Amino acid sequence: MQHDVIELLREKGLRPTRQRILIASLIFSGKHRHISPEALADEIESQYGHIALGTVYNTLRQFSDAGLLTQLAGLGDRLVYDTNLSFHHHFLDVDTGELTDVPAGQIAISGLPHLPDGFLLDAVDVTIRIKNQSNS
C-alpha cells in the first residue's frame, strides 16, 4: 500500500514526504471519504501521535490542487474534501454534519439561470440538507 501511495504522489508531481505518505495512506485506503482537516488531524493524533493542523490543511489543499481530492462547496464555513472524484451530489445531515453521497443519476437539473456576462459554468453541486424526523 505504501508503495502505491508513493507512486500516486509522484505521478501527481508531489514529493512523497513522511506527512504526505501518512495522510495519503489514510484517506486513499479504498473507501471514499469526506474529510475535514480537523477530523483528519484528530484521527492521525489518536493513531500515530501529534501532527500540526497547518500541515494537514496544507497537505489536503495540495492534494486538491493536484486533482486527488475535490473541495466541497456550500457547507458554510466548514472545509471538507471528498475522495470520490466521480460526478455526484450529497446529503448533509444537519444534526450530525455527516455527508453521504447521492448516487449519480438520481438528481436531474432541468434548467440553470443565465450566467453573468464573462463567466462560464464551472460546476453544479447539489447538497440536500436532511435531518432526523425524531429531532423535529
- Residue 98 has a CB neighbour count (10 Å cut-off) of 12
Give the containing element (helix H, strand E) for 89.
Answer: strand 89-93
- Per-residue confidence (pLDDT) for residue 59, from 0 to 100: 97
Q: What is the mean pLDDT of residues 92-112?
A: 87
Q: What is the pTM of this model?
A: 0.82
- Per-residue confidence (pLDDT) for residue 74, from 0 to 100: 62
Structural domains for the chain: 2-72 (1.10.10.10), 86-136 (no CATH)
- Per-residue confidence (pLDDT) for residue 1, from 0 to 100: 61
Q: What is the dihedral of CA 9, 79, 44, 22, to 10 degrees?
A: 0
Alpha-carbon distances of 120 from 65, 66, 110, 116, rounded to whole Å: 20, 22, 18, 8
pLDDT at residue 96 greater than cutoff 80: yes
Condensed to tens digits (0 to 9), the pLDDT of residues 10-63 reads 999 999 999 999 999 999 888 889 999 999 999 999 999 999 999 999 999 999
Is 78 or 43 the better-scoring residue by pLDDT?
Answer: 43
Helix 18-27 to helix 2-11 angle, to the nearest 10 degrees?
110
